[in-house]
A and B are shown apart, each in its own frame.
Chain A
Amino acid sequence: MKTVAKTGNEAMAYAMKQINPDVVAAYPITPATEVVQIFSNYVADGEVDTEFVAVESEHSALSACVGASIAGGRVMTSTSSQGLALMHEILYIAAGNRLPIVIALVNRSLSAPINIHCDHSDTMGSREAGWMHLYCANSQEAYDSLIIALKTAEATAVPAIVSTDAFILSHAMERLEVLEDSDVQNFIGEYRPRFSALDLENPKTYGPLDLQDYFFEHKRAQIDDFSKVLDAYDKAAKDYAELSGRYYPALEEYKTEDADVAIFAAGSTADTAKEVVDDLRDQGRKVGLVRMRMWRPLPVEQIKKALTKFKAVAVMDRSDTMADFGGPVFLETRGMLYDSEEKPLITDYVYGLGGRNIKLTDIARVYDDIEQVAKAGKIEKLITYLGVRGEE
Protein backbone atom coordinates (compact mmCIF):
# COMPACT_ATOMS: atom_id res chain seq x y z
CA MET A 1 0.00 0.00 0.00
CA LYS A 2 1.33 3.45 -0.81
CA THR A 3 0.03 7.00 -0.49
CA VAL A 4 -0.30 8.97 -3.70
CA ALA A 5 -1.92 12.18 -4.95
CA LYS A 6 -4.29 11.52 -7.84
CA THR A 7 -7.31 13.01 -9.53
CA GLY A 8 -10.44 10.87 -9.90
CA ASN A 9 -9.50 10.17 -13.51
CA GLU A 10 -5.93 9.25 -12.60
CA ALA A 11 -7.20 7.01 -9.82
CA MET A 12 -9.55 5.14 -12.15
CA ALA A 13 -6.91 4.81 -14.88
CA TYR A 14 -4.48 3.47 -12.27
CA ALA A 15 -7.01 0.87 -11.08
CA MET A 16 -7.46 -0.15 -14.73
CA LYS A 17 -3.71 -0.53 -15.08
CA GLN A 18 -3.54 -2.79 -12.05
CA ILE A 19 -6.52 -4.80 -13.30
CA ASN A 20 -4.65 -5.17 -16.60
CA PRO A 21 -7.69 -6.05 -18.75
CA ASP A 22 -7.34 -8.09 -21.94
CA VAL A 23 -9.11 -5.48 -24.04
CA VAL A 24 -9.96 -1.80 -23.66
CA ALA A 25 -11.89 -0.21 -26.53
CA ALA A 26 -12.62 3.45 -25.95
CA TYR A 27 -13.38 6.81 -27.43
CA PRO A 28 -12.42 9.91 -25.44
CA ILE A 29 -14.99 12.37 -24.10
CA THR A 30 -14.67 15.23 -21.62
CA PRO A 31 -14.32 14.87 -18.64
CA ALA A 32 -13.45 11.16 -18.92
CA THR A 33 -10.87 11.75 -21.66
CA GLU A 34 -7.95 11.46 -19.26
CA VAL A 35 -8.95 7.96 -18.16
CA VAL A 36 -8.55 6.78 -21.74
CA GLN A 37 -5.51 8.95 -22.39
CA ILE A 38 -3.63 7.85 -19.27
CA PHE A 39 -4.53 4.24 -19.87
CA SER A 40 -3.31 4.44 -23.47
CA ASN A 41 -0.01 5.73 -22.07
CA TYR A 42 0.23 2.60 -19.93
CA VAL A 43 -0.37 0.57 -23.08
CA ALA A 44 2.25 2.51 -25.04
CA ASP A 45 4.77 2.19 -22.21
CA GLY A 46 4.22 -1.56 -22.02
CA GLU A 47 2.95 -1.42 -18.45
CA VAL A 48 -0.14 -3.48 -19.30
CA ASP A 49 -0.79 -6.40 -21.65
CA THR A 50 -4.03 -4.87 -22.88
CA GLU A 51 -5.09 -4.79 -26.50
CA PHE A 52 -6.16 -1.16 -26.84
CA VAL A 53 -8.70 -0.55 -29.58
CA ALA A 54 -9.06 3.06 -30.69
CA VAL A 55 -12.51 3.33 -32.26
CA GLU A 56 -14.48 6.07 -34.00
CA SER A 57 -17.39 6.42 -31.54
CA GLU A 58 -18.72 5.25 -28.20
CA HIS A 59 -21.20 3.03 -30.00
CA SER A 60 -18.26 1.28 -31.59
CA ALA A 61 -16.31 1.30 -28.33
CA LEU A 62 -18.90 -0.69 -26.46
CA SER A 63 -19.58 -2.87 -29.51
CA ALA A 64 -15.90 -3.80 -29.63
CA CYS A 65 -16.05 -4.48 -25.88
CA VAL A 66 -19.01 -6.80 -26.45
CA GLY A 67 -17.09 -8.73 -29.10
CA ALA A 68 -14.01 -9.01 -26.91
CA SER A 69 -16.08 -10.10 -23.93
CA ILE A 70 -17.89 -12.77 -25.95
CA ALA A 71 -14.45 -14.00 -26.95
CA GLY A 72 -13.81 -14.53 -23.24
CA GLY A 73 -11.71 -11.49 -22.44
CA ARG A 74 -11.63 -9.29 -19.37
CA VAL A 75 -12.88 -6.02 -20.84
CA MET A 76 -13.15 -2.40 -19.70
CA THR A 77 -13.87 1.01 -21.15
CA SER A 78 -14.50 4.57 -20.05
CA THR A 79 -16.97 7.26 -21.03
CA SER A 80 -19.27 10.05 -19.89
CA SER A 81 -22.51 11.82 -20.76
CA GLN A 82 -23.17 11.86 -24.52
CA GLY A 83 -20.78 8.94 -24.81
CA LEU A 84 -22.92 6.79 -22.53
CA ALA A 85 -25.98 7.97 -24.41
CA LEU A 86 -24.42 6.80 -27.66
CA MET A 87 -23.61 3.45 -26.00
CA HIS A 88 -27.20 3.11 -24.84
CA GLU A 89 -28.23 0.54 -27.42
CA ILE A 90 -25.19 -1.62 -26.71
CA LEU A 91 -25.60 -1.37 -22.93
CA TYR A 92 -28.62 -3.65 -23.24
CA ILE A 93 -26.81 -6.00 -25.60
CA ALA A 94 -23.87 -6.36 -23.19
CA ALA A 95 -26.16 -7.02 -20.24
CA GLY A 96 -28.49 -9.35 -22.16
CA ASN A 97 -25.52 -11.39 -23.32
CA ARG A 98 -24.31 -11.52 -19.69
CA LEU A 99 -20.99 -9.86 -20.43
CA PRO A 100 -19.23 -8.50 -17.31
CA ILE A 101 -17.76 -5.41 -18.95
CA VAL A 102 -16.82 -2.57 -16.56
CA ILE A 103 -17.10 1.12 -17.44
CA ALA A 104 -15.10 3.77 -15.59
CA LEU A 105 -17.55 6.61 -16.01
CA VAL A 106 -17.59 10.29 -15.19
CA ASN A 107 -21.05 11.70 -14.50
CA ARG A 108 -21.82 14.70 -16.68
CA SER A 109 -25.01 16.37 -17.83
CA LEU A 110 -26.61 15.63 -21.19
CA SER A 111 -27.12 18.23 -23.93
CA ALA A 112 -28.92 20.51 -24.66
CA PRO A 113 -27.85 23.10 -23.70
CA ILE A 114 -24.24 21.99 -24.05
CA ASN A 115 -22.55 21.58 -20.69
CA ILE A 116 -19.55 19.51 -19.64
CA HIS A 117 -20.11 19.61 -15.87
CA CYS A 118 -21.52 17.26 -13.30
CA ASP A 119 -24.95 15.85 -12.87
CA HIS A 120 -26.25 12.30 -12.84
CA SER A 121 -28.54 12.49 -15.88
CA ASP A 122 -26.32 10.20 -17.93
CA THR A 123 -26.29 7.13 -15.68
CA MET A 124 -29.81 7.72 -14.37
CA GLY A 125 -30.93 7.61 -18.00
CA SER A 126 -29.35 4.18 -18.35
CA ARG A 127 -30.55 2.63 -15.14
CA GLU A 128 -32.84 0.11 -16.79
CA ALA A 129 -30.14 -1.37 -19.03
CA GLY A 130 -29.17 -4.20 -16.69
CA TRP A 131 -25.89 -2.82 -15.40
CA MET A 132 -24.74 -2.52 -11.81
CA HIS A 133 -24.21 1.17 -10.89
CA LEU A 134 -21.92 2.51 -8.19
CA TYR A 135 -21.68 6.24 -7.37
CA CYS A 136 -18.40 7.30 -5.74
CA ALA A 137 -17.84 10.04 -3.17
CA ASN A 138 -14.12 10.66 -3.67
CA SER A 139 -11.03 9.55 -5.60
CA GLN A 140 -10.13 6.85 -3.11
CA GLU A 141 -13.52 5.31 -3.51
CA ALA A 142 -13.34 5.55 -7.31
CA TYR A 143 -10.10 3.57 -7.28
CA ASP A 144 -11.40 0.97 -4.82
CA SER A 145 -14.82 0.66 -6.44
CA LEU A 146 -13.50 -0.16 -9.87
CA ILE A 147 -11.67 -3.16 -8.44
CA ILE A 148 -14.65 -4.32 -6.35
CA ALA A 149 -17.03 -3.81 -9.28
CA LEU A 150 -14.90 -5.89 -11.63
CA LYS A 151 -14.87 -8.76 -9.16
CA THR A 152 -18.64 -8.53 -8.66
CA ALA A 153 -19.33 -8.26 -12.38
CA GLU A 154 -17.30 -11.33 -13.23
CA ALA A 155 -18.84 -13.34 -10.38
CA THR A 156 -22.37 -12.57 -11.59
CA ALA A 157 -21.93 -12.02 -15.34
CA VAL A 158 -23.54 -8.60 -14.86
CA PRO A 159 -21.74 -5.57 -16.33
CA ALA A 160 -20.93 -2.60 -14.09
CA ILE A 161 -20.66 1.18 -14.22
CA VAL A 162 -18.53 2.95 -11.61
CA SER A 163 -18.88 6.71 -11.67
CA THR A 164 -17.36 9.90 -10.30
CA ASP A 165 -18.71 13.44 -10.38
CA ALA A 166 -17.43 15.45 -13.33
CA PHE A 167 -14.57 17.81 -12.44
CA ILE A 168 -15.55 17.81 -8.75
CA LEU A 169 -13.87 14.41 -8.52
CA SER A 170 -12.58 13.64 -12.01
CA HIS A 171 -10.23 16.62 -12.06
CA ALA A 172 -9.64 17.16 -8.34
CA MET A 173 -6.41 15.81 -6.98
CA GLU A 174 -6.76 14.09 -3.63
CA ARG A 175 -4.64 11.97 -1.40
CA LEU A 176 -5.37 8.27 -1.62
CA GLU A 177 -3.88 4.88 -0.91
CA VAL A 178 -3.31 2.37 -3.66
CA LEU A 179 -2.64 -1.34 -3.40
CA GLU A 180 0.28 -3.24 -4.86
CA ASP A 181 -0.31 -4.60 -8.38
CA SER A 182 0.01 -8.15 -7.07
CA ASP A 183 -2.64 -7.58 -4.39
CA VAL A 184 -5.08 -6.34 -7.01
CA GLN A 185 -4.30 -9.30 -9.27
CA ASN A 186 -4.74 -11.78 -6.42
CA PHE A 187 -8.00 -10.14 -5.42
CA ILE A 188 -9.61 -10.19 -8.85
CA GLY A 189 -8.12 -13.57 -9.78
CA GLU A 190 -8.01 -15.05 -13.23
CA TYR A 191 -11.12 -14.41 -15.29
CA ARG A 192 -12.86 -17.63 -16.27
CA PRO A 193 -15.83 -16.82 -18.50
CA ARG A 194 -18.75 -19.21 -18.41
CA PHE A 195 -18.74 -19.29 -22.18
CA SER A 196 -16.26 -18.16 -24.78
CA ALA A 197 -16.60 -17.83 -28.52
CA LEU A 198 -13.00 -18.98 -28.75
CA ASP A 199 -13.83 -22.26 -27.04
CA LEU A 200 -13.91 -24.25 -30.26
CA GLU A 201 -14.60 -27.53 -28.48
CA ASN A 202 -17.94 -26.14 -27.32
CA PRO A 203 -19.33 -23.92 -30.03
CA LYS A 204 -22.24 -21.70 -29.04
CA THR A 205 -24.40 -19.05 -30.63
CA TYR A 206 -24.21 -15.58 -29.11
CA GLY A 207 -26.82 -12.89 -29.42
CA PRO A 208 -29.34 -14.97 -31.40
CA LEU A 209 -32.88 -14.20 -32.48
CA ASP A 210 -35.22 -15.01 -29.61
CA LEU A 211 -38.90 -14.28 -30.26
CA GLN A 212 -42.22 -14.79 -28.49
CA ASP A 213 -41.35 -18.37 -27.70
CA TYR A 214 -38.41 -17.84 -25.29
CA PHE A 215 -37.41 -14.15 -25.03
CA PHE A 216 -39.52 -13.65 -21.92
CA GLU A 217 -37.97 -16.61 -20.08
CA HIS A 218 -34.49 -15.38 -20.92
CA LYS A 219 -35.29 -11.87 -19.71
CA ARG A 220 -36.80 -13.30 -16.54
CA ALA A 221 -33.63 -15.30 -15.96
CA GLN A 222 -31.54 -12.16 -16.48
CA ILE A 223 -33.65 -10.28 -13.93
CA ASP A 224 -33.28 -13.19 -11.52
CA ASP A 225 -29.50 -13.18 -11.91
CA PHE A 226 -29.50 -9.41 -11.39
CA SER A 227 -31.10 -9.96 -7.99
CA LYS A 228 -27.98 -11.92 -6.97
CA VAL A 229 -25.66 -8.98 -7.59
CA LEU A 230 -26.21 -7.40 -4.19
CA ASP A 231 -24.97 -10.47 -2.29
CA ALA A 232 -22.04 -10.92 -4.65
CA TYR A 233 -21.18 -7.26 -4.25
CA ASP A 234 -21.31 -7.46 -0.49
CA LYS A 235 -18.98 -10.44 -0.45
CA ALA A 236 -16.52 -8.70 -2.79
CA ALA A 237 -16.70 -5.49 -0.72
CA LYS A 238 -16.00 -7.39 2.50
CA ASP A 239 -13.10 -9.31 0.98
CA TYR A 240 -11.74 -6.03 -0.31
CA ALA A 241 -12.06 -4.50 3.14
CA GLU A 242 -9.86 -7.27 4.54
CA LEU A 243 -7.26 -6.49 1.93
CA SER A 244 -7.38 -2.70 2.07
CA GLY A 245 -9.01 -1.76 5.39
CA ARG A 246 -11.69 0.15 3.47
CA TYR A 247 -15.24 -1.14 3.45
CA TYR A 248 -17.90 0.21 1.14
CA PRO A 249 -21.42 -1.04 1.81
CA ALA A 250 -24.02 -0.73 -0.96
CA LEU A 251 -25.78 1.76 1.30
CA GLU A 252 -23.90 3.81 3.87
CA GLU A 253 -25.38 5.31 7.02
CA TYR A 254 -23.71 8.20 8.80
CA LYS A 255 -24.76 9.24 12.30
CA THR A 256 -28.27 7.89 11.83
CA GLU A 257 -28.77 5.89 15.06
CA ASP A 258 -30.67 8.60 16.93
CA ALA A 259 -31.40 10.95 14.03
CA ASP A 260 -34.87 12.39 13.52
CA VAL A 261 -34.20 13.52 9.99
CA ALA A 262 -31.79 12.51 7.24
CA ILE A 263 -30.59 13.45 3.80
CA PHE A 264 -30.46 10.65 1.23
CA ALA A 265 -27.81 11.56 -1.34
CA ALA A 266 -25.13 10.15 -3.65
CA GLY A 267 -21.69 11.03 -4.95
CA SER A 268 -19.41 13.82 -3.77
CA THR A 269 -22.33 15.75 -2.27
CA ALA A 270 -22.95 12.94 0.21
CA ASP A 271 -19.33 13.25 1.37
CA THR A 272 -19.74 17.02 1.76
CA ALA A 273 -22.99 16.48 3.67
CA LYS A 274 -21.12 14.50 6.36
CA GLU A 275 -19.30 17.71 7.21
CA VAL A 276 -22.65 19.48 7.59
CA VAL A 277 -23.99 16.65 9.76
CA ASP A 278 -21.00 17.00 12.11
CA ASP A 279 -21.48 20.73 12.26
CA LEU A 280 -25.20 20.50 13.05
CA ARG A 281 -24.58 17.70 15.56
CA ASP A 282 -22.22 20.08 17.38
CA GLN A 283 -25.27 22.32 17.74
CA GLY A 284 -27.19 19.41 19.28
CA ARG A 285 -29.36 18.69 16.25
CA LYS A 286 -30.30 15.09 15.55
CA VAL A 287 -29.49 14.84 11.86
CA GLY A 288 -28.03 12.01 9.82
CA LEU A 289 -27.06 11.00 6.33
CA VAL A 290 -27.80 7.95 4.22
CA ARG A 291 -25.55 7.61 1.22
CA MET A 292 -26.77 5.90 -1.88
CA ARG A 293 -23.75 4.16 -3.36
CA MET A 294 -25.34 1.34 -5.33
CA TRP A 295 -28.42 2.32 -7.31
CA ARG A 296 -28.62 -0.77 -9.54
CA PRO A 297 -29.60 -3.21 -8.34
CA LEU A 298 -31.49 -1.34 -5.65
CA PRO A 299 -30.54 -2.44 -2.15
CA VAL A 300 -34.25 -2.30 -1.31
CA GLU A 301 -34.31 -3.91 2.12
CA GLN A 302 -31.29 -1.87 3.28
CA ILE A 303 -32.91 1.34 2.08
CA LYS A 304 -36.21 0.53 3.78
CA LYS A 305 -34.47 -0.35 7.04
CA ALA A 306 -32.35 2.79 6.93
CA LEU A 307 -35.00 5.34 5.99
CA THR A 308 -38.07 4.15 7.91
CA LYS A 309 -36.52 5.16 11.22
CA PHE A 310 -36.66 8.88 10.44
CA LYS A 311 -39.50 11.37 10.74
CA ALA A 312 -38.47 13.21 7.59
CA VAL A 313 -36.10 12.49 4.72
CA ALA A 314 -34.82 14.78 2.00
CA VAL A 315 -33.79 13.00 -1.16
CA MET A 316 -31.14 14.85 -3.13
CA ASP A 317 -31.40 14.17 -6.83
CA ARG A 318 -28.72 15.32 -9.25
CA SER A 319 -31.01 14.68 -12.23
CA ASP A 320 -34.67 14.97 -13.08
CA THR A 321 -37.14 12.44 -14.45
CA MET A 322 -38.96 14.98 -16.64
CA ALA A 323 -42.10 13.40 -15.21
CA ASP A 324 -43.05 16.62 -13.45
CA PHE A 325 -42.50 14.64 -10.27
CA GLY A 326 -38.91 15.28 -9.22
CA GLY A 327 -35.84 13.11 -9.62
CA PRO A 328 -35.42 9.35 -10.04
CA VAL A 329 -34.05 8.67 -6.56
CA PHE A 330 -37.07 10.43 -5.06
CA LEU A 331 -39.57 8.48 -7.14
CA GLU A 332 -37.99 5.11 -6.51
CA THR A 333 -37.48 5.80 -2.81
CA ARG A 334 -41.13 6.68 -2.33
CA GLY A 335 -42.04 3.50 -4.20
CA MET A 336 -39.85 1.33 -2.01
CA LEU A 337 -41.29 2.77 1.19
CA TYR A 338 -44.93 2.73 0.14
CA ASP A 339 -45.75 -0.52 1.96
CA SER A 340 -43.86 0.31 5.15
CA GLU A 341 -46.12 0.95 8.13
CA GLU A 342 -43.78 3.50 9.65
CA LYS A 343 -42.37 5.77 7.01
CA PRO A 344 -40.86 9.23 6.88
CA LEU A 345 -42.23 12.27 5.14
CA ILE A 346 -40.13 12.45 1.99
CA THR A 347 -39.30 15.57 0.03
CA ASP A 348 -37.10 15.98 -3.02
CA TYR A 349 -34.31 18.43 -3.73
CA VAL A 350 -33.14 18.47 -7.32
CA TYR A 351 -29.75 20.17 -7.23
CA GLY A 352 -26.46 20.78 -8.99
CA LEU A 353 -27.61 20.30 -12.58
CA GLY A 354 -24.89 21.14 -15.07
CA GLY A 355 -22.32 21.42 -12.27
CA ARG A 356 -24.02 24.15 -10.20
CA ASN A 357 -21.91 24.38 -7.04
CA ILE A 358 -23.57 22.96 -3.93
CA LYS A 359 -22.40 24.78 -0.82
CA LEU A 360 -22.33 23.63 2.78
CA THR A 361 -24.98 26.25 3.49
CA ASP A 362 -27.23 24.78 0.77
CA ILE A 363 -27.08 21.40 2.48
CA ALA A 364 -27.61 22.96 5.93
CA ARG A 365 -30.70 24.68 4.56
CA VAL A 366 -32.10 21.29 3.46
CA TYR A 367 -31.65 20.05 7.03
CA ASP A 368 -33.45 23.17 8.27
CA ASP A 369 -36.33 22.38 5.93
CA ILE A 370 -36.76 18.73 6.91
CA GLU A 371 -36.52 19.51 10.61
CA GLN A 372 -39.45 21.82 9.97
CA VAL A 373 -41.30 19.07 8.07
CA ALA A 374 -40.67 16.65 10.95
CA LYS A 375 -41.87 19.18 13.49
CA ALA A 376 -45.00 20.14 11.55
CA GLY A 377 -45.76 16.55 10.59
CA LYS A 378 -46.59 17.62 7.06
CA ILE A 379 -44.94 18.61 3.82
CA GLU A 380 -45.32 22.17 2.57
CA LYS A 381 -43.28 21.77 -0.59
CA LEU A 382 -42.75 18.35 -2.12
CA ILE A 383 -40.13 19.12 -4.75
CA THR A 384 -37.58 21.91 -4.56
CA TYR A 385 -35.12 22.94 -7.25
CA LEU A 386 -32.27 23.96 -4.99
CA GLY A 387 -30.38 27.11 -5.90
CA VAL A 388 -32.14 27.88 -9.18
CA ARG A 389 -32.49 31.56 -10.02
CA GLY A 390 -36.05 32.79 -9.94
CA GLU A 391 -37.27 29.64 -8.20
CA GLU A 392 -37.20 30.61 -4.53
Chain B
Amino acid sequence: MQQYFEVRWHGRGGQGAKTAALLFGEAAMETGKYIQAFPEYGPERTGAPVKAYNRLSDGPIRIHTQVTDPDVVVVLDASLLESINVTEGLKKGGAILVNTQEKAEVIKKKLGVTDAKVAVVDATKIAVEILKRNVPNTVMLGAMVKVTGALEWDSALASIEAKLSEKFRGRKEIIEGNVKAIKKAYDEVEVA
Protein backbone atom coordinates (compact mmCIF):
# COMPACT_ATOMS: atom_id res chain seq x y z
CA MET B 1 0.00 0.00 0.00
CA GLN B 2 1.07 3.54 -0.76
CA GLN B 3 2.61 5.48 2.12
CA TYR B 4 0.72 8.48 3.43
CA PHE B 5 1.65 11.19 5.88
CA GLU B 6 -1.50 12.35 7.64
CA VAL B 7 -2.12 15.34 9.86
CA ARG B 8 -5.08 16.36 12.01
CA TRP B 9 -5.45 19.97 13.09
CA HIS B 10 -7.55 20.89 16.11
CA GLY B 11 -8.61 24.47 16.66
CA ARG B 12 -11.51 26.66 17.54
CA GLY B 13 -13.66 28.38 14.93
CA GLY B 14 -11.84 31.54 13.87
CA GLN B 15 -8.33 30.38 14.76
CA GLY B 16 -7.55 29.30 11.23
CA ALA B 17 -7.16 25.52 11.47
CA LYS B 18 -8.42 25.21 7.90
CA THR B 19 -6.10 27.94 6.62
CA ALA B 20 -3.16 26.25 8.35
CA ALA B 21 -4.02 22.94 6.67
CA LEU B 22 -4.30 24.62 3.27
CA LEU B 23 -1.01 26.46 3.68
CA PHE B 24 0.76 23.33 4.88
CA GLY B 25 -0.69 21.41 1.93
CA GLU B 26 0.41 23.98 -0.60
CA ALA B 27 3.85 24.20 0.94
CA ALA B 28 4.13 20.42 0.71
CA MET B 29 3.09 20.50 -2.93
CA GLU B 30 5.85 23.00 -3.68
CA THR B 31 8.32 20.38 -2.47
CA GLY B 32 6.95 17.91 -5.02
CA LYS B 33 4.41 16.04 -2.89
CA TYR B 34 0.87 15.08 -3.78
CA ILE B 35 -1.43 16.63 -1.22
CA GLN B 36 -4.87 16.89 0.25
CA ALA B 37 -6.03 19.56 2.69
CA PHE B 38 -9.58 19.60 3.94
CA PRO B 39 -11.63 20.76 6.88
CA GLU B 40 -14.28 18.80 8.69
CA TYR B 41 -17.42 20.83 8.21
CA GLY B 42 -20.01 20.82 10.92
CA PRO B 43 -22.06 23.50 12.57
CA GLU B 44 -19.04 25.77 13.11
CA ARG B 45 -19.31 28.84 15.21
CA THR B 46 -16.56 31.12 16.37
CA GLY B 47 -14.94 29.44 19.33
CA ALA B 48 -16.41 25.96 18.73
CA PRO B 49 -14.00 23.04 18.27
CA VAL B 50 -13.08 22.44 14.61
CA LYS B 51 -10.85 19.97 12.79
CA ALA B 52 -8.90 20.05 9.54
CA TYR B 53 -6.72 17.48 7.84
CA ASN B 54 -3.78 16.91 5.53
CA ARG B 55 -2.81 13.84 3.59
CA LEU B 56 0.58 13.83 1.82
CA SER B 57 2.16 11.28 -0.46
CA ASP B 58 4.85 10.88 -3.11
CA GLY B 59 2.26 9.61 -5.61
CA PRO B 60 -1.29 10.55 -6.60
CA ILE B 61 -3.70 10.25 -3.64
CA ARG B 62 -6.82 8.19 -4.20
CA ILE B 63 -8.15 8.01 -0.65
CA HIS B 64 -11.03 10.43 0.02
CA THR B 65 -11.95 9.69 3.61
CA GLN B 66 -11.46 11.42 6.91
CA VAL B 67 -8.07 10.97 8.53
CA THR B 68 -8.55 8.56 11.43
CA ASP B 69 -4.95 7.57 12.26
CA PRO B 70 -2.85 10.72 11.93
CA ASP B 71 0.95 10.75 11.99
CA VAL B 72 0.80 14.21 13.48
CA VAL B 73 -1.77 16.07 15.54
CA VAL B 74 -1.58 19.85 15.88
CA VAL B 75 -3.55 21.59 18.61
CA LEU B 76 -3.96 25.34 18.07
CA ASP B 77 -5.70 25.93 21.40
CA ALA B 78 -4.58 24.22 24.60
CA SER B 79 -8.04 24.58 26.17
CA LEU B 80 -9.17 21.83 23.77
CA LEU B 81 -7.07 19.36 25.75
CA GLU B 82 -9.72 19.55 28.46
CA SER B 83 -12.68 18.67 26.24
CA ILE B 84 -11.43 16.71 23.23
CA ASN B 85 -9.47 13.49 22.96
CA VAL B 86 -6.81 15.02 20.74
CA THR B 87 -4.60 11.93 20.71
CA GLU B 88 -7.37 9.72 19.29
CA GLY B 89 -5.91 7.46 16.61
CA LEU B 90 -2.45 9.06 16.80
CA LYS B 91 0.06 6.66 15.27
CA LYS B 92 2.81 5.05 17.31
CA GLY B 93 5.99 7.01 16.76
CA GLY B 94 3.95 9.99 15.61
CA ALA B 95 3.92 13.46 17.09
CA ILE B 96 1.55 15.85 18.78
CA LEU B 97 2.24 19.56 18.74
CA VAL B 98 0.43 21.86 21.14
CA ASN B 99 0.21 25.64 21.31
CA THR B 100 0.70 26.18 25.05
CA GLN B 101 2.71 28.00 27.70
CA GLU B 102 3.38 24.70 29.45
CA LYS B 103 6.55 22.64 29.16
CA ALA B 104 6.53 19.65 26.81
CA GLU B 105 7.00 17.24 29.74
CA VAL B 106 3.89 18.61 31.46
CA ILE B 107 1.74 18.19 28.35
CA LYS B 108 3.16 14.74 27.75
CA LYS B 109 2.14 13.68 31.22
CA LYS B 110 -1.24 15.35 30.94
CA LEU B 111 -2.02 13.57 27.66
CA GLY B 112 -0.61 10.29 28.90
CA VAL B 113 1.33 9.89 25.67
CA THR B 114 4.09 7.28 25.83
CA ASP B 115 4.71 6.19 22.26
CA ALA B 116 4.68 9.50 20.38
CA LYS B 117 6.64 12.72 20.42
CA VAL B 118 5.10 15.63 22.29
CA ALA B 119 6.12 19.13 21.23
CA VAL B 120 5.06 22.53 22.52
CA VAL B 121 5.42 26.12 21.43
CA ASP B 122 3.77 29.26 22.75
CA ALA B 123 2.37 30.29 19.38
CA THR B 124 -0.21 32.58 20.95
CA LYS B 125 2.52 34.63 22.63
CA ILE B 126 4.50 34.80 19.41
CA ALA B 127 1.39 35.82 17.44
CA VAL B 128 0.38 38.53 19.91
CA GLU B 129 3.94 39.81 20.13
CA ILE B 130 4.66 39.96 16.41
CA LEU B 131 1.29 40.03 14.67
CA LYS B 132 -0.47 41.93 17.48
CA ARG B 133 -3.37 39.45 17.20
CA ASN B 134 -4.13 36.04 18.64
CA VAL B 135 -3.83 34.12 15.36
CA PRO B 136 -1.65 31.11 16.14
CA ASN B 137 -2.31 29.12 12.95
CA THR B 138 0.45 30.24 10.60
CA VAL B 139 2.85 30.49 13.52
CA MET B 140 2.32 26.81 14.28
CA LEU B 141 3.41 25.92 10.74
CA GLY B 142 6.97 26.78 11.69
CA ALA B 143 6.94 24.43 14.66
CA MET B 144 5.14 21.82 12.59
CA VAL B 145 7.77 21.75 9.85
CA LYS B 146 10.54 21.41 12.42
CA VAL B 147 8.94 18.72 14.54
CA THR B 148 7.81 16.49 11.70
CA GLY B 149 10.70 16.94 9.31
CA ALA B 150 8.10 16.20 6.64
CA LEU B 151 9.08 19.17 4.51
CA GLU B 152 12.27 20.89 3.49
CA TRP B 153 12.35 24.09 5.55
CA ASP B 154 13.56 26.65 2.98
CA SER B 155 11.13 25.70 0.24
CA ALA B 156 8.27 25.31 2.72
CA LEU B 157 8.92 28.80 4.08
CA ALA B 158 9.19 30.27 0.57
CA SER B 159 5.90 28.67 -0.41
CA ILE B 160 4.09 29.91 2.70
CA GLU B 161 5.44 33.40 2.07
CA ALA B 162 4.25 33.29 -1.54
CA LYS B 163 0.77 32.15 -0.51
CA LEU B 164 0.51 34.85 2.16
CA SER B 165 1.59 37.45 -0.38
CA GLU B 166 -1.21 36.28 -2.65
CA LYS B 167 -3.74 36.40 0.15
CA PHE B 168 -2.69 39.73 1.70
CA ARG B 169 -1.89 41.51 -1.56
CA GLY B 170 0.50 44.32 -0.77
CA ARG B 171 -0.01 44.32 3.00
CA LYS B 172 3.68 43.97 3.64
CA GLU B 173 3.59 44.17 7.44
CA ILE B 174 1.24 41.18 7.66
CA ILE B 175 3.31 39.07 5.28
CA GLU B 176 6.64 39.91 6.91
CA GLY B 177 5.17 39.55 10.38
CA ASN B 178 3.90 36.07 9.61
CA VAL B 179 7.23 34.95 8.20
CA LYS B 180 9.02 36.31 11.26
CA ALA B 181 6.57 34.56 13.59
CA ILE B 182 6.89 31.27 11.69
CA LYS B 183 10.68 31.42 11.99
CA LYS B 184 10.42 32.17 15.69
CA ALA B 185 8.15 29.18 16.27
CA TYR B 186 10.60 27.03 14.34
CA ASP B 187 13.36 28.14 16.69
CA GLU B 188 11.40 27.94 19.94
CA VAL B 189 9.52 24.65 19.65
CA GLU B 190 10.39 22.26 22.49
CA VAL B 191 10.12 18.48 22.23
CA ALA B 192 9.67 15.83 24.92
Contact = CB atoms under 8 A, between A and B. Distances in A.
A175 B65 contact: no
Given A275-B1, A275-B2, A278-B1, A172 B38 contact: yes
B25 A275 contact: no
A34 to B, nearest CB: 12
A116 B41 contact: yes
Given A5-B26, A175-B29, A117 B41 contact: yes
Contacts of B37: 5, 172-173
A14 B35 CA distance: 19
B64 A272 contact: yes
A173 B36 contact: yes
A252 to B, nearest CB: 12
A144 B66 CA distance: 25
B111 to A, nearest CB: 25
Interface residues of B, number: 21
A45 interface: no
B63 A272 contact: yes
A268 B36 CA distance: 13
A174 B34 CA distance: 7
Interface string B145-179: 00000000000000000000000000000000000
Contacts of A358: 65
Given A173-B22, A173-B25, A282-B1, A5 B66 contact: no
Contacts of B22: 5, 173
Contact of A357 (B34, B61, B65): B65
A278 to B, nearest CB: 6
Interface string B2-33: 10000000000000000000100110010001
Nearest to B57: A175
Nearest to B38: A172
B110 interface: no
A317 to B, nearest CB: 17
Nearest to B54: A173
B63 to A, nearest CB: 5
Given A116-B41, A175-B29, A272-B63, A5 B1 contact: no
Contacts of A269: 64
Residue among B1, B38, B61, B64 facing the most chain A CB atoms (10 A cut-off) = B64
Nearest to A4: B29
A240 to B, nearest CB: 18
Interface in B31-75: 33-39, 41, 61-66, 68
Nearest to A117: B41
A172 B29 contact: no
Interface in A1-40: 3, 5, 7, 31
A80 to B, nearest CB: 14
A268 B64 contact: yes
Contacts of B61: 174
A131 to B, nearest CB: 25
Given A5-B29, A117-B41, A167-B41, A172 B1 contact: no
A268 B38 CA distance: 14
Contacts of A171: 38-39, 41
Nearest to A118: B64
A271 interface: yes
Contacts of A165: 64
26 contacts: A5-B22, A5-B25, A5-B26, A116-B41, A138-B62, A167-B38, A167-B41, A168-B64, A171-B41, A173-B22, A173-B35, A173-B37, A173-B38, A174-B36, A175-B33, A269-B64, A271-B64, A272-B62, A272-B63, A272-B65, A275-B62, A275-B63, A278-B1, A279-B1, A357-B66, A358-B65
Given A272-B65, A275-B1, A359-B68, 10 more contacts: A7-B38, A116-B41, A138-B64, A171-B38, A173-B37, A173-B38, A269-B64, A274-B62, A278-B2, A357-B65
